[in-house]
């Protein structure tokens, strides 16, 4: 069994549906009784991924007496001409997703360099110890205004350089194939298989 350290059922479903997850027995951390909320107080996304994996792994050992591989993820948008902002603050710079998109667009007004990256970090912990962490990234550019209806978060303002479309204008399969999240999770699942960690 592998435990996905996310309390968001939509995210867990999306991760479990990735090609790299096929054949793995996946359980969400929220399926365990009295699952606590973990404060994400790291200074960057990698630290937050590590904090969640290690703390949930410790919690499973102490409260349920088990030590399965626990994998977490933390992700965000990094805009180069804004010195990497919003980065680790991506989920919190404004109340709603629409407002968050406009905050980025407002700060970029008049700036020539609109290059950006989506970054995702995954971290694996077993028995309260960090085993490994991985990074997935996708490069793009910030649009002049939001476009498209698909996806979530900053998808309407993040342009895929190959197609010129925003992630919100791409269908789900196309976005998932390109995405930072897919890259970070695929590395984590491949590691489990290569190292024969208990995945069933």
Residue positions annotated with a catalytic role: 74
Q: Cα dist. 70→64, 76, 112, 135 in Å?
A: 14, 21, 42, 16
User: Least Å distance between CB 65 and ligand IMP?
Assistant: 29
Of the candidate residues 57, 72, 90, 182, the single one contacting ligand IMP (CB under 6 A): 90
Burial (CB < 10 A; 0-12, 13-18, 19+), residue 173, is: exposed
- Using CB under 6 A as the binding rule, whether residue 140 contacts ligand IMP is answered as no
- Using CB under 6 A as the binding rule, whether residue 154 contacts ligand IMP is answered as yes
Nearest CA-CA partner of 143 in 193, 89, 77: 77
Q: What binding mask, one character per residue, do residues 65-84 give for ligand IMP by CB under 6 A, x or -?
A: ---------xxxx-------
Rounded-to-integer distance, Cα 122 and Cα 188, Å: 7
φ, ψ of residue 21 to 5 degrees: the values are -90, -5
- Using CB under 6 A as the binding rule, whether residue 134 contacts ligand IMP is answered as no
Handedness of CA 50, 54, 60, 63 (dihedral sign): negative
Of the candidate residues 91, 105, 141, 199, the single one contacting ligand IMP (CB under 6 A): 91
Q: Which of residues 48-67 bind ligand IMP (CB under 6 A)?
A: none
Q: Which residues bind ligand IMP (CB under 6 A)?
A: 74-77, 90-91, 118, 151-155, 167, 179, 181
């Amino acid at each position: 069994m592998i435990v996905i350290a996310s309390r968001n059922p939509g995210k867990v479903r999306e991760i479990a549906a990735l090609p790299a997850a096929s054949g793995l027995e996946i359980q969400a951390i929220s399926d365990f009784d009295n699952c606590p909320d973990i404060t994400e107080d790291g200074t960057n996304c990698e630290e937050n991924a590590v904090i969640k994996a290690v703390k949930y792994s410790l919690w499973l050992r102490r409260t349920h007496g088990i030590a399965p591989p626990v994998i977490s993820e933390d992700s965000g948008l990094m805009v180069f001409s804004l010195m990497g902002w919003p980065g680790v603050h991506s989920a919190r710079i404004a109340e709603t997703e629409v407002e968050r998109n406009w905050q980025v667009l407002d700060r970029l007004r008049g700036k020539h360099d609109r290059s950006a990256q989506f970054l995702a970090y995954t971290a694996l912990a077993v028995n309260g110890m960090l085993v490994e962490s991985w990074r997935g990234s996708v490069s793009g550019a910030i649009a002049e205004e939001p476009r498209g209806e698909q996806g979530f978060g900053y998808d309407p303002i993040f342009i895929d350089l190959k197609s010129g479309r925003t992630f919100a204008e791409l269908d789900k399969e196309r976005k998932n194939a390109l995405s930072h999240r897919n890259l970070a999770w695929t590395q984590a699942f491949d590691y489990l298989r290569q190292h024969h960690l208990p995945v069933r």
